[in-house]
Structure formats: structure tokens, C-alpha cells
A and B are shown apart, each in its own frame.
Chain A
Amino acid sequence: SQTIHQWPATLVQPVGSPLSLECTVEGTSNPNLYWYRQAAGRGLQLLFYSIGIDQISSEVPQNLSASRPQDRQFILSSKKLLLSDSGFYLCAWSVQGSHGQYFGPGTRLTVT
């Protein structure tokens, strides 16, 4: 069966520090991968999606970036965090050509 992992679960970082969040998927090949951000009490905002290694689309211009160094690994990064980067970050995957998405447990990021 397929599983998706995200880490860390929670993170507190000072303004201006770098960020690296990791997501890995097991049990499937060539998945579509997604990064979302969710503000408290709000819906999800799509940040990045990837249909393959080194094929990443950015949805929202900001100080975040994403990389996919391996087929089932998706990394969200920032060189310098802003207070507005605080939120709940969710990674998700879907099968190529399918329509439902499967979400990881999320990372709660607080920028102080």
C-alpha cells in the first residue's frame, strides 16, 4: 500500500532562517506531488506541483522554492523565512491521470 511521510511534524524557526521540509511517498512510482499551505481556519493554497523529477510548477510567487531530487521525494525550501510563512504545510500525491489526492500528516511551521 502507498504511504506518504512528512517531517518534521512541528517546527519553530526565527525570521530570516532557512527552511527545509521533506516529503516522501512509498509504494507508488512516478506520482504527481504537491505542496500546499493552510492558514489557521482556512482552506488550502497550492504552492507547487510536480509531474516528474525536475518538473515543478510554482503557483504563487514568494520566497519559497521546491525541488524533486528523486521520483518520490519532494522538498520545500526557503533561504530566509518571513513571519508570513507561518502555517500548516501539507504534501500530497496523486497517481498520473487520476484525480484524487492523498495527503501527508502535515508540518506546523511557526516563524517567530
Chain B
Amino acid sequence: SQQGEEDPQALSIQEGENATMNCSYKTSINNLQWYRQNSGRGLVHLILIRSNEREKHSGRLRVTLDTSKKSSSLLITASRAADTASYFCATDAWETSGSRLTFGEGTQLTVNP
């Protein structure tokens, strides 16, 4: 079953604006990850935030995690047309042998030049 639920389902912004996507989940997690998918391509791992972390940065990406609300957000600052893609959150039901991810339905981001 899909645990992560992203909102909005679709987001359209102008180049230079910030884009914020949210993810909610239902059960306890070890970590939460964000992935990007260009149309018809494989997913690319963007960032991982552990359950004991509240905020993490990577370049123009900022991820927050609120385990009390079981939610996370991904902020892309100063967006570019090349950021146009689908973005997925995935919760990790980590087992000693490795990660098992449960993906949300994704947010389709369109950045207009």
C-alpha cells in the first residue's frame, strides 16, 4: 500500500519562484527520502532525512521532517525550467538487510520559463 501522500498533485510556477511540496505518511519511519523523475525515465535520489533530523539542505533543496505530524516538505528555491519533473516522497521501513521504500503518488511540478 502507498504510505506517502504528496500534495499538491500538480504545481505550476514561474522560473525563479520557490516550489513547495508536502508529504504525509501514516506509520513510524526510519527515514524519509525524496526522489525526482523526469518523464519516462528512472527515479533519481535527491535527499534523505532521518527520523531524528528536522531539516536538511542540499544545494537549492530544503527538506523538513515533522515526525509528530508525520509529514515532510520539499522546498526547491529559485526554480528553473529544468526542475520540471515529478517528485516523490518515499518512507523507509528499514530492515537490517536494507531499505524497503513505500512511495507516494507524486507531485508533478511544472516550471514555466
Measured CB to CB, the residues of A under 8 A from B are 32, 36, 41-46, 49, 51, 88, 90, 92, 94-106, 108
Contacts and interface: CB of A to CB of B under 8 A. Distances in A.
A90 B2 contact: no
Given A42-B105, A43-B88, A97 B98 contact: yes
8 contacts: A42-B105, A42-B106, A43-B2, A43-B4, A43-B105, A90-B42, A100-B99, A108-B40
A44 B37 CA distance: 11
Contacts, number: 71
A92 B4 CA distance: 19
B43 interface: yes
B88 A99 contact: no
A106 B37 CA distance: 11
A105 B40 CA distance: 8
Given A42-B105, A46-B100, 19 more contacts: A36-B103, A43-B88, A43-B106, A44-B43, A44-B90, A44-B101, A45-B2, A49-B98, A49-B100, A92-B42, A94-B99, A99-B98, A99-B99, A100-B48, A100-B99, A101-B99, A103-B35, A103-B43, A105-B41
